[in-house]
Amino acid sequence: MSALLGGSQALWFVSRASGLALLAAFSAAVVLGVAARLGPRLAVGELHRALALFSVAFLGLHVVTAILDPYVTIGWAATLLPLASPYRTLAIGLGALAVDLGGAVLITSLARRRLGYRAWRAVHWLAYLTWPAAFAHAVTAGSDLRIWWAAVVLWGCAAAVATAVIARLLSWLRGPDRTLLGALR
């Protein structure tokens, strides 16, 4: 199998590359979700959903290639169980945590109509935990941070998400989005 894929190097490269792409796509999705009210509503909404789905695709690639890679033993269980990887348990574990949390957000979003708005919204807040877990995984498990442009992507994502969160906080402090009840009493 690995001979077909040009040696285990190929799997490892794809895993790292898809990981970086995943971080970028996921960060962009988070930025659009957090700062939704500050842009054109429909475009932001649709792009947010599209980027989230791209992230799932990259995630699939990232996880499968990492596990199939014979150079390190991670095991399928480590995809979902944070302490199951014998190789770099904490680093991989953070990734598994991100998958668990993100998975909950994804599944509830796909079943949104059936769940109802309130249940969906409650779970969606987990996104605020998912991104830090994913980022921490990238920092601890990532093997490319010495490459300057990979570091730029990584820290650029962090800066973008941080900016979006701060902007959202400021707009919330300045006054909540025109609430209906507030208009009355």
Binding region for other proteins (CB under 8 A): 36, 40-42, 45-46, 112-113, 116-117, 120, 177-178, 180-181, 183-185
| Identity of the residue, 170 or 176, whose beta carbon is nearer to other proteins in the bound complex | 176
CA-CA distance, 137 to 43, in Å (whole number)?
A: 30
In this complex, which beta carbon is closest to other proteins, that of residue 47 or of residue 72? Answer: 47
Looking at the Cβ atoms of 45 and 103, the one nearer to other proteins is 45
Residue with smaller CB distance to other proteins, 173 or 181: 181
Give the residue with the Cβ less far from other proteins, 115 or 136.
Answer: 115
Which is nearest to 19 in space by CA: 152, 148, 135, 127?
Answer: 135
In sequence order, what are the residues at sequence separation of 6 or more whose Cβ sits closer than 8 angstroms to the Cβ of residue 94? 82, 133, 134, 136, 137, 140, 141
- Taking the complex as a whole, the smallest distance from the CB of residue 170 to other proteins amounts, in Å, to 20
Nearest approach in angstroms of CB 181 to other proteins is 4
What does each C-alpha distance from 108 to 70, 120, 154 come to in angstroms? 34, 6, 28
- Separation of alpha carbons 110 and 104, rounded Å: 10
Cα-Cα-Cα-Cα dihedral sign, residues 136, 138, 140, 144: negative
Alpha-carbon gap, residue 138 to 59, rounded angstroms? 13
Residue 48 beta carbon to other proteins: minimum distance, rounded to whole angstroms: 10
Task: Give the nearest distance from C-beta 111 to other proteins in angstroms.
Answer: 12
Quote the least distance from Cβ 161 to other proteins, whole Å: 20
The residue (of 118 and 146) whose beta carbon lies closer to other proteins is: 118
Q: Report the nearest approach of other proteins to the CB of residue 96 (Å).
A: 30
Cβ-count burial 44-75 (b if 16+ within 10 Å, e if not): beebbeebbebbeebbebbbbbbbbbeeeebe
